[in-house]
Amino acid sequence: MIVAPLTASQAVQADSRADPLVDSRVDSVPGSQIKPLDALGSQIEALVKFVRAHPRLQVLTGAGVSTGSGIPDYRDSEGAWKRKPPVSHQDFVADPATRRRYWARSLLGWPQMASAAPNAAHAALARLEQAGRVRQLVTQNVDGLHARAGSSQVLELHGSIHHVGCMDCKAAYPRATVQTGLAAANPRFAALQGAAAPDGDADLEDSFEDFVIPACPACGGLLKPDVVFFGDSVPRDRLAGAWEALAQSDALLVVGSSLMVYSGYRFCLKAAEMGKPVAAINFGRTRADKLFALKVESACGPALQGLLERLDQG
């Protein structure tokens, strides 16, 4: 849909939030009242014009890019939670029971994420970069699929589920290595099954009292996945690099994100502050609908493939 975007200050007034870093609530502000274009083809044509007019894009991706790879997302088309919110940083650090539950479920869920393959959306974004149209790709996903698809200018805003770090001695380990230790120490849990859940989690409800929490092999300290849990902050140097790339870009393209979490939403606010237009490909309502110059209501893969086909036609 074509939208008359608000300024950043207007959007902030319309979307006041109590928590400046993480907020799981759905906006009370209704979405744009502009009717969507009649057909996906018309929306793609508008997207082609947008990309041609703004040849250096910063792309921000979310969970909707990876659902085509079998990785579930957290929210529905209205931006509301489909399931309980994920573990918070504060609970993980402070509560051994929370850590037991997290690692037990991750023992079952991580292999499903590790075996996931890039889909058409990842491949299309890699091709856009190879064509010189992507200045930087910022992803809120922790699955590593953009790099596997061939994108090289990737900033993993929330880290990578495939790495684990010690919070005490700062040693780093591949997640696959930790997986081997988890399975060996917890054979009962390793034999269980659970449906895939977002971010390498699995749907498993059990008594976790006998689960052995992994410790750092080097110092016996607290191991944590190298991801930004809810309630934690994106490292400042990482965010600074993203802002620098946005300043050097002509526009921001959001792909597959409801932007309900502030760490993603603030990219739209920052773009508006810099005078950069924002376009989006996403099914359903987002927190930044009022800021978009263009919104394509579509699954990510078909929209991006359609964009590439039309760009290739010249």
Active centre residues (catalytic): 158
Q: Which tokens go with 117?
A: 């393959």
| Strand 223-227, strand 159-166: pairing | antiparallel
Contact between residue 247 and residue 263 where contact means Cβ atoms under 8 Å apart = no
* 278-281 vs 294-296, strand pairing mode: parallel
Using CA atoms, how far residue 55 sits from 58, 111, 128, in Å, is: 10, 38, 10
CB-based burial of residue 178 (10 Å sphere; 0-12 exposed, 13-18 middle, 19+ buried)? buried
**Phi, psi (degrees; rounded to nearest 5) at 310:** -75, -35
CA dist., res. 90 & res. 98, Å (int) = 10
* Cα 56–chain centre separation: 21
Distance of alpha carbon 36 from alpha carbon 295, whole angstroms: 8
Query: What is the Cα–Cα distance from 199 to 73, expressed in whole angstroms?
Result: 8
Residue at token pair 């402070």: 94
